[in-house]
Structure 1
Amino acid sequence: MTLKRGREPANEGEGDGDGDDARARASGTRDAEEHRGVRVRAEDDVPTTKDGVDFERDVAKDEAANAVARHYSSRSNQSHGERRKSVIYRLRCLNNWIKSTQLSSRVRENDRVMDLACGKGGDLKKYARAKVGFYVGVDIALESVRRDAVKRYNGEHANEFPAVFIAGDAFVVDLAEVLPEHQRTLDVISCQFAIHYSLSTEQRARRALRNVCKMLRPGGYFIGTTVDSNVLVRKLREADGLAFWNPVYEVEFDDTFKDKTFPASKTGGFGIEYTFTLADAVTKCRECMVPKDVWVSLAAEYGLELVEWQNFHDYVHSQLHGKETRERAGGLWSQVMGDEGENTLTDEEWEAAYLYCTFVFRMSGSPESAASAVFNRKPVPEKRKIEQSDVLVLEGAA
């Protein structure tokens, strides 16, 4: 096979990565009745001040997240032929391959999973192939969930697993308040091309991690993809100005970081913003860096132990050449990328892929506690058709 050395674009096909008033809605089922009339609070036990620094929720940061949500909800679905014409088609294929290998390595048959930032439901087929036992899809983009994800779930090749869909900002609300017990104690939580939006403030980052740790069983995995901040800083310092680009993408910092340094005393590791443009996907979208040491340290406070952190370039090579992974990864490569290098990335796309990394965290706990959590959790509801009115609409949905 041939291989040359994103924020995930809104790719409307299988494996697309996606990447109102806040009021919980309910269906007619017993489970949904538990949520009727619930107003989900943004407040939690995160301190509002720490060492004199105010951590009250920043309205401007929330509006930035809402803008991203509205952008993805407004994008029209494309046919496979239209997607193939995109200058980032092969990059999209690579992103889907990376997500597929992550899921195939961590998700087991009958696992209960959460797709955090599920977007239009583009990864539903991946979970179907994994034969999961229960699925929770969460995204801030209301119409992406209510219109597209639900339609995909109920589609011609309807998924065999029961599911719950939630529209709301998982970096603001407490998901444990709206999900009954049998919809928690999950085996795997996946967050693809989205966790960097939680790093706008410490409070949002903590809420994201608190939701993960409350949802995961002991020994469960938190997996995903995000921006590689080490690469962003390196490329920024190599640039003449505050921007770097190629024909596929552009990253631009503002004068706040004109000295090209990011001391902890200045940022705390949060709110290090830049604008990102990706051809055929987003234009000047505000995103945040994810300093690895800050994120790993914060995750550890919530019992999440780092298992793996790899740049996309390193991840691809380790998967395709690793003794334990190459057979499975190679098979998926042929399925997603095409045989004989059919979808070999351009140099520009491969450079764009270099901006991202994969991560895997494991929820702390002994094998005994993990086995006990699985054995004692309640059965999930039966699979049924999901109506748009069944979508739980929480605070932050846009």
Structure 2
Amino acid sequence: MANSIETNSSKSAVSHEHGAHTFYNNSQSHSLGQRNESKIFYMRNFNNWIKSTLINDYLARIRNEQPERSNKIHVFDMGCGKGGDQLKWHVGRVNSVTFADLAENSVKECEQRYRERQKYCNYKANFFPLDCTEELIRDKMDASEPCFDLVSTQFVLHYSFDKLKSADRFLRNAAEFLRVGGYFIGTTVNSCELV
């Protein structure tokens, strides 16, 4: 975009970015039992169902529209967190996933989960601690042309709208390596319902 317009003061923008980074780097992992006891257990299950449905629908579209890509689907999971969608990629029979998140500790846990599941995981993976609102994935990746069939951003898009520059960078990361005929999918919160 030609001109960058900041909607918030620099001070609040910095604190927002730092706040999300700090929060997710310090968040504790919870066991399956603890997650089952959570107050938001049913909402989390609903969110996972929505994500699974969305991911499966678009993987099917890619396979139907581009049969030659059926066994070569490459995914960019932007804002991967601790890797909560890894099983969805396994079930979706993708070839590779590039995981990126702004919280280094979350990326480490995502990679650890992948290594623990690797004996039955059917896809290759790369991991990048990367703030997709500030940094460009091209500076980290060894790629010079579009290589992703699907870019997925699940419940993280809203973080990029703190500043126009952040939103532009986030969407540039989503689009730059997306193949022609590929898809950018995501879920986000409803700002009218967010309390």
Query: Shorter-chain TM-score: what band?
Result: 0.7 to 0.9
1:183–1:78 CA distance, 2 compared to 1 (3 A): farther
Distance in 1 (alpha carbons) for counterparts of 2:94 and 2:141: 18
Larger RCO (CA under 8 A, 6+ residues apart): 1
1:73 aligns with one of 12, 15, 25:
25
CA apart distance, 1:182: 6.8
CA apart distance, 1:157: 4.9
Question: 2:133 aligns to what?
Answer: 171
Could you give the per-residue CA deviations for residues 197-255 of structure 1, whole angstroms, max 9, x where no partner exists? 111111111111111111101111100111223xx1xx6xxxxxxxxxxxxxx71xxxx
Alignment of 1:323-334 (within 5 A): none
1:178–1:80 CA distance, 2 compared to 1 (3 A): closer
Distance in 2 (alpha carbons) for counterparts of 1:88 and 1:226: 16
Distance in 1 (alpha carbons) for counterparts of 2:14 and 2:128: 18
Corresponding residue pairs, total: 184
Amino acid at match of 2:103: A
Amino acid at match of 1:118: C
Listed as ranges, the gaps of 5+ residues in structure 2 are 64-70
Amino acid at match of 1:223: I
Question: 2:44 aligns to what?
Answer: 92
Question: 2:112 aligns to what?
Answer: 151
- Tell me if 1:105 matches 2:57: yes
Question: 2:89 aligns to what?
Answer: 127
Distance in 1 (alpha carbons) for counterparts of 2:87 and 2:50: 15
More helix by share: 2
User: What's the secondary structure of 2:57's corresponding residue?
Assistant: helix
User: What's the secondary structure of 1:135's corresponding residue?
Assistant: strand
User: What's the secondary structure of 1:227's corresponding residue?
Assistant: coil
Amino acid at match of 2:184: F
Q: Between Structure 1 and Structure 2, whose CA radius of gyration is higher?
A: 1
- Tell me if 1:223 matches 2:175: no
CA RMSD of aligned residues (A): 2.3
CA apart distance, 1:178: 2.3
Alignment of 1:352-391 (within 5 A): none
Q: Is the Cα contact below 8 Å between 1:112 and 1:135 reproduced in 2?
A: yes
CA apart distance, 1:196: 0.7
Identity %: 32
CA apart distance, 1:60: 3.4
1:183–1:95 CA distance, 2 compared to 1 (3 A): farther
1:160–1:139 CA distance, 2 compared to 1 (3 A): same
Distance in 1 (alpha carbons) for counterparts of 2:83 and 2:14: 23
Q: Is the Cα contact below 8 Å between 2:158 and 2:188 reproduced in 1?
A: yes
Q: Is the Cα contact below 8 Å between 1:110 and 1:131 reproduced in 2?
A: no
Distance in 2 (alpha carbons) for counterparts of 1:152 and 1:206: 31
Listed as ranges, the gaps of 5+ residues in structure 1 are 1-45, 236-249, 252-398
**What is the TM-score of this pair, normalised by structure 2?**
0.85
